[in-house]
Amino acid sequence: MPPGVSLSITAPTSGSAISPGLGLALVGCGSAMPSTSLSNSDLSRRVETSDDWIRSRTGIGARRVAGADESLTVLASRAARTALDHAGWNPADVDLILLATSSPDDLFGTAPRIQAALGATGAVAFDLTAACSGFLFALITAGQYVASGAVRRALVIGADQLSRWVDWDDRRTCVLFGDGAAAVAVQACPAEESGLLGFRMRSDGSRHACLTLAQTEGREPLLDGISAQKGGFAPIQMNGQEVYKFAVREVPQILADLLEHTNTQAGQLDWLLLHQANQRILDAVAERFAMAPERVLSNLAHYGNTSAATIPLMLDEAVRDGRVRPGHLLASSGFGAGLSWGAALLRWSGPRR
């Protein structure tokens, strides 16, 4: 086993789901984006870069930047409410709210603020941090609560506001990231109807230095010989080439493993739904599975890398414009800081009304 810790559960696509009794149906989605868009040309007025460089190296054309009245709580609550409405639920129906984020409004937890904003008084709400793998890890986590029978309905949110943590003078990182929020509503269903058909999760902390948003070193002197660390984080640092190599090596591998263990052929997939970090990564993964480019979902051109939000944001867009339809099979993979990566085989159910 290579370095890192692995966790996986799989079930054949033909029938049984992650637990003998209960499955997880994906029944609603929603997203909320900041209103301000920053184009590549806009950025080239701030750092030495160009639309041509950014597009050709990443596929990104623009990204959204949250305004003063668009906090993570505001955007994530809007996305969650839309998912709730799409699913046809009342706020009181929700048992669990999981917020995947690396940029919370409050380090003690932002999910409870979303619970309050929604009026989901019966829901337990907490944050989960796994960077760009966060949404997939949260969805899989919600799946365990549902499979155990502890939770019937959950909102899984991916939201990030990395604009507050990038160094806007560092052209190697500031061109990549954007802000956004999206959510998926999931509910218990009979095992044979499950929309979570198998998953893989991996972590390798020995490579954490490749991509960090790390605590700063400063200390506050208190008394003679006693000091306390000052809170604060340094801007995002990334070794882009190392993260790129990691992604094009590990993502195809974990997806191949997932497909093998779920007895699924790449040709059976309707869509590849990958974390949106770089179009070249999407293309490399698609090529490995001989997936036609039109089967690979991409919205990098409009939003860049919104970290934990990319996968539900892409799903929401494709559901709303009719590309992803009830019954469609999607292979999804998230990857990023940690290092962390994961994959899940999903079937979109759509609202059950």
Which residues are at the interface with ligand UT7 (CB under 6 A)?
A: 49, 53-54, 57-58, 132, 171-172, 175, 240-241, 243-244, 247, 277-278, 281, 305, 336
CA distance 162 to 257: 31
CB atoms near residue 226 (< 10 Å) = 9
CA distance 160 to 76: 9
**240-261 vs 279-288: helix axis angle to the nearest 10?**
30
Kind of pairing, strands 196-203 and 5-10? antiparallel
CA distance 45 to 283: 29
Smallest gap from Cβ 117 to ligand UT7, in A, equals 27
CA distance 307 to 238: 14
Closest CA to 184 of 149, 147, 148, 134: 134
Which residue's CB atom is positioned nearest to ligand UT7? 240
Smallest gap from Cβ 301 to ligand UT7, in A, equals 14
Q: For the stretch 61-87, what's the b/e string if a residue is b when 16 or more beta carbons lie within 10 angstroms of its beta carbon?
A: bbbbbbeeebebbbbbbbbbbbbbebb
Among 86, 174, 275, 278, the one annotated catalytic: 275
User: Is position 328 annotated as part of the catalytic site?
Assistant: no
Residue nearer to ligand UT7 on the CB measure, 81 or 171: 171
Residue nearer to ligand UT7 on the CB measure, 136 or 243: 243
Give Cβ neighbours of residue 209 (< 8 Å, ≥ 6 apart): 239
Residue nearer to ligand UT7 on the CB measure, 131 or 315: 131
Residue nearer to ligand UT7 on the CB measure, 116 or 234: 234
Residue nearer to ligand UT7 on the CB measure, 132 or 159: 132
CB atoms near residue 292 (< 10 Å) = 8
Residue nearer to ligand UT7 on the CB measure, 140 or 243: 243
Distances (CA, A) of 111 to 85, 98, 101, 191: 19, 7, 10, 28
Smallest gap from Cβ 53 to ligand UT7, in A, equals 4
HSE of 188, CA atoms in CB hemisphere, 13 A: 18
Smallest gap from Cβ 61 to ligand UT7, in A, equals 13
Smallest gap from Cβ 29 to ligand UT7, in A, equals 21
Smallest gap from Cβ 48 to ligand UT7, in A, equals 6
Burial environment of residue 92 by CB neighbours within 10 A (0 to 12, 13 to 18, 19 or more): exposed
Among 132, 174, 189, 210, the one annotated catalytic: 132
User: Is position 305 annotated as part of the catalytic site?
Assistant: yes
SS3 269: coil
DSSP letter assigned to residue 345: E
User: Is position 90 annotated as part of the catalytic site?
Assistant: no
Residue nearer to ligand UT7 on the CB measure, 33 or 120: 33
Smallest gap from Cβ 58 to ligand UT7, in A, equals 5
Q: Hey, which residues are catalytic here?
A: 132, 275, 305
